[in-house]
Amino acid sequence: MQSFLLSSLASTQKALRSLGVSALAGDAGSILWLGALVASSIWAARWLSRRAITLRARAFLPTASRHLAHWVGPVDYSLDQMLRADGADARFAERRRAALMRLSGELSERYARSNAWGERARDGFSDLRFTDANRVPFPFAKAMREQFSLCSVVTGSKGPRLRDLDENWMLDVSGSYGVNVAGYDLYKQWMRAGLDRVADVGPVLGPLHPLVLENVATLKQISGLDEVSFHMSGTEAVMAAVRMARHNTGRRHIVSFSGAYHGWWDGVQPGLGSERALPDCILLKDMHRASLDVIRWRANEIAGVLVNPVQCFHPNAPPPSDAVLLMSEARKTESDSERYAAWLREVREVCSRYCVPLIFDEVYTGFRLAPGGAQEYFDIQADMVVYGKSVAGGMPIGAVCGRSDLMRRFDPEHPMRVAYVIGTFSAHPVVMGAMREFLEWATCPDTASSYSRANRQCHEWAHTTNAELEKEGLPVRISQLGTIWTLTFLAPGRYNWLMQYYLRSEGLNLSWVGTGRCLTSLDFTPEDYRELGLKISIAARRMQNDAWWLDPTDDPRSERNMKKQLAREMIQSLIRVPTFAKSFTSEVLRRKRDDHHASHNNYLNQVLHLISSSVFIYCYAAAWVNLTTAMWMGLSALLLRQLGHVVFEPPCHDKESLLLGFTTRNKSLIVAGYLLTPVAHLTVASSFTWSTFVDTLPAIAWHWFLFTLFVVFGRVFYLVWQHGAWNSSIWFVKLVTDPFSDLVAYTPALLRRA
């Protein structure tokens, strides 16, 4: 064995000498060198294998959408273009035009006062503009705004109906973003009774009301966990759960699954609404075996697996998930809920085996599927559970329940480590009073039977309505889980989003995601369900009669033409070189300005930067003729440049890290690497004469050049991995062009001062 190691080392030494590097001599040194080489190879192999497994399970569509958001330019159809966006001919376009004018007239007449109120509010109320824009795909938004001006303004509620500003009573399937589980009438009672419970206290914050202890005890019983903390919203509660999981495990990565929504904050939204890269969040495919492998292999990096038990936040994605790969072929005959329950159990098993906390985000599903939420419905115990919306009886709230070891905000071994999690209104007395009313109802023995009845009613209604839709030949179906349901469309088309307008014309109130996710409350009666099914059938029939779905028998090429037109429009939108170049250039210039403000304010530092930049520009050209001279002059200029930062201007580590560049500390290490290169050459040289030093200058310059390439492009690849190709490209262009921009930025100021 020893002879094999020594022979391998001899080959390694020979290869290293051919690269100009002296190998270690002697048996002991050889074994140490080989050991270090083997250890580094094992570490590299392990790192690459983990990344390869992650690559196979990573959900790329949301990340690709985030990158495309910087590239895709605006596309605004005219009315004529909108009517023929799927390649329809003139006869269909005219039918659609007449239908659109008719629908616009109906809605304008029915909701005249509400729409007028919306026109006044739209200029100053950003939320109204946001929801209005997100109801319609962006190419159609401008044309639809020119024809429709809709706004929902309600003045009362009764049962599952809402009264709007025009005195219309609408059947509500929005669920008030999920708040309304039991029915508006019960919530109004709870809100009044909760206020009466704490009327003598008022808005006292800091000291706690006695109801807090009762609510904590009930939530512990429902969740099956040890401790509870209150927060001001569901989003804030998710923030707190993630923060405490990271603090108490000492790990930084959070795993979430594609299609899930965990609140609007950037921290766990890599692909949904987040413009910046999130290096500490791993977005994986839902219901995919490779995702379980990632949890197994990277368990020591994962602070928690964050699960939304009912995904379905995308239009045309039925509950419980927008799954990309079912767990096994045998389960294809099972129902959606059975398949998803099996998937959640496998996630639970893997998390338990590898000591990874499982976090259920039940802000939406808590008390929606069952009195005990998704934990009870799927019979799975999580390590942390986040509640919100309905748990406070109609008042704003967020709550985190968890194991004691995951809920600690102080580290007993390191008292200076603190997870600062707090909210001013988190235990507001009025909220605690309404919560007490709701929790007493939720834990009442009769409540469980109410859930069973409501879930059964909704299931029977969906089955009956689907049979009617199929009988009439309408390409619409209902997918349902508990009292959560969505409309799916069987016919390919670019106008499925119009269904929400037809449903609104029939007197149905939807949430801002349109038909993507709908809810029925526990107070829906069989008559209400029959009315709901009738409205859906009428709306679908009207859409079909108005030619918004092309019949393949009329034009067999319709689907192919539609796909070709979509691809053509996407390519045209992406090939907006002037727009992209302008955006890219403006971002580079903005980073340069931020860099100057962060650490280039001192006069002497600017002088040194001006000198070094002039040398760098000369070296750019000289490197093609005499690499040795260019590298030696460039290194001297680099030392001069860093001297300006270290001596004349304090390092701004925080600002530099935000700009994604090298911090002052990293720059010092790089400079040290440059200085060690000639030292290493002289150390292995046979003599220390001046002629020997001159002879090694070309070799030193060549190694400096290779080191420079390694540092620069190593940083480029690191930024691509951590922050995306867009940010990495901006950093690289900024670095290369800094000498030129320094001349432009500092020369006029120095001349004025002179």
Tell me: pLDDT of 525 over 80.
Answer: yes
Say if CB 660 and CB 719 are below 8 A apart: yes
Residue 265 domain-assigned (yes or no):
yes
Using one digit for the tens of pLDDT, what is the confidence trace for 326-360? Answer: 334 444 444 566 777 888 999 999 999 999 999 99
**Same domain, yes or no, for 472 and 554?**
yes
Average the pLDDT over 417-444 and give the result: 91
Say if CB 357 and CB 244 are below 8 A apart: no
Residue 557 confidence (pLDDT): 60
Residue 492 confidence (pLDDT): 80
Tell me: pLDDT of 668 over 80.
Answer: no
Q: Considering only 23-37, 321-335, 357-371, 543-557, which range has the smallest mean pLDDT?
A: 321-335
**Same domain, yes or no, for 318 and 418?**
yes
* Counted domains in the chain: 3
Say if CB 169 and CB 162 are below 8 A apart: yes
Residue 216 domain-assigned (yes or no):
yes
**Same domain, yes or no, for 720 and 597?**
yes
**Same domain, yes or no, for 161 and 254?**
no
Say how far apart CA 13 and CA 624 lie, in whole Å: 32
- Alpha helices (runs of H) in 313-428, residue ranges in sequence order: 336-353, 373-378, 404-407
Q: pTM above the 0.75 mark?
A: no
**Same domain, yes or no, for 163 and 241?**
no
Q: Considering only 128-137, 150-159, 185-194, 717-726, which range has the smallest mean pLDDT?
A: 128-137
Tell me: pLDDT of 693 over 70.
Answer: no
Asked which of 443, 474, 494 is the last residue of a domain, the reply is 443
pLDDT band at 256 (very low <50, low <70, confident <90, very high): very high
Say how far apart CA 426 and CA 232 lie, in whole Å: 5
Asked which of 569, 597, 618 is the last residue of a domain, the reply is 569
Residue 29 domain-assigned (yes or no):
no
**Same domain, yes or no, for 731 and 582?**
yes
Owning domain of residue 395: 184-201+208-443
Percent of the chain whose pLDDT exceeds 90: 37
CATH of the domain at 86: 3.90.1150.10
Residue 13 domain-assigned (yes or no):
no
Say if CB 521 and CB 180 are below 8 A apart: yes
Residue 5 domain-assigned (yes or no):
no
pLDDT band at 7 (very low <50, low <70, confident <90, very high): low
- Angstrom CA distances, 639 to 170, 598, 644, 668, 679, stand at 73, 20, 9, 9, 16
Average the pLDDT over 288-294 and give the result: 91
Using one digit for the tens of pLDDT, what is the confidence trace for 104-133? Answer: 999 989 998 888 887 777 676 655 544 455
Residue 199 confidence (pLDDT): 93
Residue 5 confidence (pLDDT): 43
**Same domain, yes or no, for 197 and 338?**
yes
**Same domain, yes or no, for 461 and 430?**
no
Residue 618 confidence (pLDDT): 84
Which residues fall within 8 angstroms of residue 728, CB to CB, at 6 or more apart? 716, 717, 719, 720
Q: Considering only 38-42, 420-424, 435-439, 607-611, which range has the smallest mean pLDDT?
A: 38-42
Q: Tell me which DSSP letter residue 514 carries.
A: B
Selected residue with higher pLDDT from 341 and 455: 455
Say if CB 523 and CB 160 are below 8 A apart: yes
Residue 491 confidence (pLDDT): 82
Say how far apart CA 287 and CA 291 lie, in whole Å: 8
Selected residue with higher pLDDT from 267 and 107: 107
Residue 195 domain-assigned (yes or no):
yes
Average the pLDDT over 81-95 and give the result: 87
CATH of the domain at 308: 3.40.640.10
**Same domain, yes or no, for 241 and 264?**
yes
Query: What SS3 state is found at 487?
Result: strand
Residue 26 confidence (pLDDT): 43
Average the pLDDT over 703-711 and give the result: 83
Tell me: pLDDT of 320 over 70.
Answer: no
Using one digit for the tens of pLDDT, what is the confidence trace for 44-74? Answer: 777 777 778 888 888 877 777 777 776 777 7
Tell me: pLDDT of 652 over 80.
Answer: no
- Alpha helices (runs of H) in 367-498, residue ranges in sequence order: 373-378, 404-407, 429-442, 445-471
Say how far apart CA 598 and CA 133 lie, in whole Å: 37
**Same domain, yes or no, for 553 and 594?**
no
Secondary structure element (H or E) that encloses residue 524, with its range:
none
**Per-residue tokens: 214:** 């009762």
Selected residue with higher pLDDT from 10 and 684: 684
Report how many helices (DSSP H) and strands (DSSP E) the chain contains, helices first: 26, 16
Say how far apart CA 338 and CA 348 lie, in whole Å: 15
Residue 326 confidence (pLDDT): 39
Asked which of 390, 421, 443 is the last residue of a domain, the reply is 443
Mean pLDDT of the chain: 81
Residue 703 domain-assigned (yes or no):
yes
**Same domain, yes or no, for 273 and 378?**
yes
Residue 62 domain-assigned (yes or no):
no
Work out the widest C-alpha separation in the chain, in whole angstroms: 101
Q: Considering only 338-347, 362-371, 488-497, 600-609, which range has the smallest mean pLDDT?
A: 600-609
pLDDT band at 273 (very low <50, low <70, confident <90, very high): low
Tell me: pLDDT of 145 over 90.
Answer: no
**Same domain, yes or no, for 111 and 96?**
yes
Using one digit for the tens of pLDDT, what is the confidence trace for 607-642? Answer: 887 888 888 888 888 888 788 888 888 888 887 877
**Per-residue tokens: 225:** 């966990």
